[in-house]
Every structure is written in C-alpha cells, then in structure tokens.
Amino acid sequence: MGDGRVTILDVAERAGVSISSVSAALNDKPGVSETTRDKIRAVAAELGFIPSIRGRSLSGKRAFAAGLVVQRSTEVLESDPFFASFISGIESVLGVRGYALVLQMAGDSAEALRHYRQLVGGRRVDGVFLNELEIDDSRIPLIQELGIPAVAVNADVGPFRVPVVRQDYVEGIGQLVNYLAGMGHRQIAHLAGPPQFVHSRQRESAWRAAMTALGLEPGLVVAGDFTFEGGARAAESIYGGAHRPTAVVCANDLMAAGFLARTLDLGLRVPDDISIAGYDGIPLGEYVRPRLTTLRTTPHLLAEEAARMLLGWIESGDRVADVEIAPARLEIRESTGAVPAAR
C-alpha cells in the first residue's frame, strides 16, 4: 500500500488467504466458505478496498458498462436539458451498481451503427440503450444480430423486438387539446418534430386524434427540428400563411420557446392574439414570459427505469418485461388562454 491504493493483494495478505479466494468472495462466486467470505468482506471494508472495473471485467467476463449513442448535433445537446436529465437518470442507477456509461455522439445513422458495432464487437459494453427511435430504425436489427441486451425508450405501443420503457403521451395531449377547445379555439395548429423520429409521429398522431374526437379539423402542420431556431422559423411560416391559427401545439418546449419569442418580436401578444403550448416540461418553460403551458415529462425517471431494466437483463440473462411510467402531465401557464374575441 505504498502508493496509498489498496489492492486485492493487500486484502489477501491481511485476511491470510489467497488472491483467488478474495476474488471469489467479493464476486459472489463459489469456492470459499461463508465464514471465509464474511472475513474477507470485513477486511476489504476495513481497508477501504474498491474493486476496479477492469479487474471485475476480467474475472466476470463483463465490461460492467452500458452504451448510449446519441445521434444529434452537439448544439442540440447543449441547448436541450432533456438529454442532461436523461443521462443523469441512467448514471444514478449504473453508478451505484458499479457500472459505467459509455456515451458516444453520432452525426448520422451510419455513424451510429458503426459506434454500436465497435462497442459490442470490442466487448466494451454489456448492453445498450436505444433512445430517440426512428421509423424503421436500423439499430434494432443490428442489435438483434449482435445478440446484446438492449432497452428502447418510448417505442410505439405493442409488441416490440426489445424491451421498452414508455411514458404515455396520448392522455396529456388529449387533455391539452380539450383545454384549448374549451377556451374557444377551433383552429389549432401543430408544430411537429423531425418526421424520421417515432416520438414526432406519436405526438402528431395524438394531436390529430384529439382534434378529430372533438369534431375539429386537424388543420395546419409545420415540420420543425426540435430547436429554438426551428421554432422561430416556424412562426415566420405560420404567420406568413393565409389562415393564421389561434393556438399552436408544439412537439417540444425548445421549439415552443422559439415560436413564442418570434411571435413577440413580430408585435403579437401571447396569449391575447395566439396561444402557444409545448411538450417536455423543461425548466426553460418557467423562465420565458409568458410562462409556457406544457406537458411535463420525466426523462430522469424514464432513464432510471431503462437502466434498471437493462441491468436486470444483463445480470439475469433473461429478457425483462416492458415498463410503463406515469404519463406526461398537463401544466397550464400563461402562454395559453381564451380564443381572441375577433376570431
């Protein structure tokens, strides 16, 4: 212990046993009696011994790591708190269980697939997370080909090829559309996310279904990109059209905030001239003025459940069941109100 770091050799010497006995005792493997196991654990605790991930990997044939490849630009990651909350949720579970998160960025789907192949082929991870699923996502058949445990986030309802953790969006979007209709709005537009993403399609479909259920024409849909700037551009597009809606339901809060900012720049009042609502419930919605009506999701909880599921599969060797967490919750704030009197 000359350098101050306690090693497995130090534990073995203090306990008076072999290194292999220490390894078996601390990794819950057979080969030592319960009395010896308890003694070794007590000595390890007394010395402050912390097994290295590398050592555990070599002895247990595991990497003690899980992989997440994010296919987004760094600008989106820097501006959208959803990702920070999601990653924090994963870490809160992996960390206490002695696992590491291997995070990689990808500019496109081809690069993302390469990253997954490298992570799995190099035995750097024991399982992976699949976030922000795309329509006909090419990662799914790849993961099945590689034969590694995986958990997907917010796949469509129904049987899926890997376990899924979901947060229902239908109920909340229905409540939002019903609230706006109850305030007199009939022309309710939708600012959608990028069309390749499953959650963009999910939110647009829920908006359409809610409008139709009320006997209202779904009307105008503008494709956005989930960014603040994209929301501002969408405002230019919508206000430049022949028929301006009285309310806009945005597929995320960043676009809603950009839409709101550009609306105010153009001299319009919110909600007196138009009502604006978002989705996600990120802190930014509390800071803009007027404060943003939104559907609050819980990315930290979503990630925690995904991490528990993935570790459950890794450690048991058996596929785990899907998990449904509490649905997104409507929070009505000052950015929405009654339909303008003249409309």
Q: Which two structure tokens, joined as six digits, stand for 108?
A: 């496109």
Q: Answer for the pair 157, 132: CB distance below 8 angstroms, yes or no.
A: no
- Taking residues 300-304, what's their average pLDDT? 96
Q: Give the model confidence (pLDDT) of 268-278 as tens digits.
A: 999 999 999 99
- Taking residues 243-250, what's their average pLDDT? 95
Q: What contacts 339, CB < 8 A, 6 or more positions away? A: 183, 184, 185, 186, 246, 247, 275
Name the CATH superfamily for 65-167+299-326. Answer: Response regulator (3.40.50.2300)
User: Do 65-167+299-326 and 8-51 fall under one CATH topology?
Assistant: no
Tell whether domain 170-297 is in CATH 3.40.50.2300: yes
Crossing angle, helix 34-47 and helix 8-15, to 10 degrees? 120
Cα(240)–Cα(19) distance, integer angstroms: 75
Give the model's pLDDT for residue 194: 94
pLDDT higher than 80, residue 85: yes
Give the model's pLDDT for residue 108: 86
Q: Give the model confidence (pLDDT) of 4-45 as tens digits.
A: 677 788 888 899 998 788 877 876 677 788 889 889 889 988
Q: Give the model confidence (pLDDT) of 189-238 as tens digits.
A: 999 999 999 999 999 999 999 999 999 999 899 999 999 999 999 999 99
Among 78-82, 123-127, 217-221, 309-313, where is mean pLDDT lowest? 78-82
Q: Does the predicted model carry a pTM greater than 0.85?
A: no
Among 1-5, 104-108, 130-134, 284-288, where is mean pLDDT lowest? 1-5
**Percent of the chain's residues with pLDDT above 70:** 93
Give the model's pLDDT for residue 206: 98
Among 84-93, 151-160, 280-289, where is mean pLDDT lowest? 151-160
- Taking residues 257-280, what's their average pLDDT? 97
Domain boundaries, the chain: 8-51, 65-167+299-326, 170-297
- Taking residues 101-114, what's their average pLDDT? 91
Output the CA–CA distances (angstroms, integers) from residue 274 to 130, 163, 190, 244, in the order listed: 37, 41, 13, 9
Q: Answer for the pair 131, 122: CB distance below 8 angstroms, yes or no.
A: no
Residue 312: count of CB within 10 angstroms of its CB = 18
Strand order in the sheet with 65-70: 100-105, 65-70, 127-130, 150-153, 164-167, 323-325
What class has domain 8-51? mainly alpha
